[in-house]
Structure 1
Amino acid sequence: MINIGRSGIQVDQEPNSCPVCNQLVSPNRTEMFKEVYTDNPHFSRYLSGLYECPSKKCGHLFLAHFERKSEHEGYTNGYFTYTHSTPNHFKPIAFDDRISTISPSFVEIFNQSANAEESGLSEVCGMGYRKALEYLIKDYCVSLQPDDSEKIRSMMLMQCINKYITDTNIKECATRAVWLGNDETHYQRKWQDKDIDDLKLLINLVVHWVVSCLMTQEYMQSMQRL
């Protein structure tokens, strides 16, 4: 826990990046912190603190937002947990041009989801990542089997993976990404020991293996056996 210099106020961590310039930094803490009270006028639920980016190229002020996780004072988790910083100047994630060409919708949806996650919308971004995955898989399958495009677009995602994905690495990673993606949309989670970071990692693995397959095809076509 970190004591921020005010009586009884401690946080689990402070921001380690600037939301304006998107650089990893150690922001300068100011003395301006404000507790936010909701239902209980004697027990603050949220905390906001003003920080300054130390980068000479930036130097912007920004707010770090914290939330008290316990419902009552005196609990061991009755301190504030860092959630996010604002204003959020999201820097889009760049994907290989092959992915952008095959599935521009995947790139757009994935970046919107990442933007939501950086803004602290942790309960909804997972559904966005799951949607991005579906676009990536189906658009890739359409590129492989254009004659079946309408059928692919209307199929359930797992059916599409089982029928059209032949590469073992893509299939296994995509299948597990679907499992975790479904957890983000359902009331009860099946994979209690996995979280949204695992989902993003699996999606990135799918991207990696799709790019590898596309690159392999390019060289096989451009370099025929003599």
Structure 2
Amino acid sequence: MEKSVSLINNLNSNTRYLTYDAVEQCPICKAKIRPVHLAASLNTSDTASVFNYCHNCNETFITQYKVLRKDPKSSYYAVANIVYSEPNRFSKHVFDERIINLSPQFDKIYNQALAAESSMLDEIAGLGYRKALEFLIKDFAIHEHPNEKESIKVKPLAQCIKSYIANESITTLAERSAWIGNDEAHYIRKQEDRDVSDMKNFIQAIVYFIGMILITEDAASMTPKK
């Protein structure tokens, strides 16, 4: 949704004109919106802030833009891209109760990583997702092999996946997730065409497959009633 506004250069009080794409999601309530423009300010030669109001949650927020002047002699500017909106309030990912009961630490760590990512701490969020993956896989392995609990605890994640996870889909997803997660901790990336978003997708798929196994186990525990 493209809009045009006039804004003031805070450095010299000159008026400039900005054409920009309005945000389509409120960073506070996460609702799809058409924000109400309240004010705008040109901060430097290439950044601007737009002050918005959300009808859904009745809150205000600021969107930062990277701007590009079309003509050095003109007072008209064009937006290059939206940089971010703030405050960006964290919205917790709610996992199925079976997953939480299986691995409460996974639920806690994953959502802490998600909170970091929501705060644009992308360089550390990946490490959090990697740690969450390890807790999920090891807790599931312990669930499947309770007599091997102590051994599972101390094994590296890769060995744990290979030795204790029988489901091929989970094995593939966990192994590839670990590859990406390891890149998040190292100076040189090996999986250059993959990033945290891929790891999150893989982890969500792992959660799905584990959830289906837990549901099947629950169904199998039923006995016929006479």
Instruction: Quote how far apart the aligned CAs of 1:31 are.
Output: 2.6
Change (3 A) 1:132 1:4: farther
Once the two structures are superposed, what CA deviation does each residue of 1:100-139 show, in whole Å capped at 9, x if it has no partner?
0011111111111111111111221111111111111111
1:92–1:170 distance in 2 versus 1, CA, 3 Å: same
2:59 alignment partner in structure 1? 60
Residue aligned with 2:221, SS: helix
TM-score of the two chains, using structure 1 as the length reference: 0.80
* TM-score, normalised by the number of residues in structure 2: 0.80
Between the two proteins, the alignment pairs up a number of residues equal to 208
Taking structure 1 as reference, are residues 14 and 212 closer, same or farther at Cα in structure 2, changes over 3 Å only?
same
Larger Rg: 2
Q: 1:17 offset after TM fit, Å? A: 1.4
What amino acid is aligned across from residue 215 of structure 1 in structure 2?
I
- Indicate conservation of the 8 Å contact 1:47/1:80, yes or no: no
Residue number among 4, 22, 25 corresponding to 1:17 in the alignment: 25
With over 3 angstroms needed to count, the CA separation of the structure-2 counterparts of 1:15 and 1:153, relative to structure 1, is farther
Note the C-alpha offset of 1:2. 6.1
Distance 1:123 1:143, change over 3 A: same
What is the CA RMSD across the aligned residues, in angstroms? 2.7
Cα distance change, pair 84–221 in 1 and its aligned pair in 2 (3 A): same
**Cα deviations by residue, 1:58-83 (Å, 9 ceiling, x for unpaired):** 12101223458xxxx9xxxx965434
Question: What are structure 1's unaligned runs of at least 5 residues?
Answer: 37-42
1:153 is paired with a residue whose SS is helix
Report runs of 4+ in structure 1 exceeding 4 Å deviation: 1-4, 8-11
- 2: CA distance between counterparts of 1:114 and 1:28? 28
SS in structure 2 opposite 1:185?
coil
5+ residue gaps, structure 2: 7-15, 73-77
Give the structure 1 partner of residue 147 of structure 2.
147
Deviation at 1:49, TM superposition (A): 2.7
Q: Which protein has the bigger strand share?
A: 2
Deviates more, 1:203-212 or 1:22-31: 22-31
Contact 1:85/1:119 (<8 A) preserved: no
* Identity among equivalent pairs (%): 33
Residues in 1 aligned to 2:66 and 2:137: alpha-carbon distance in whole angstroms: 37
- 1:131 alignment counterpart: 131
Assess, with a 3 A threshold, how the Cα gap between structure 1 residues 47 and 162 changes in structure 2: closer, same or farther. Answer: farther
Contact 1:65/1:84 (<8 A) preserved:
yes
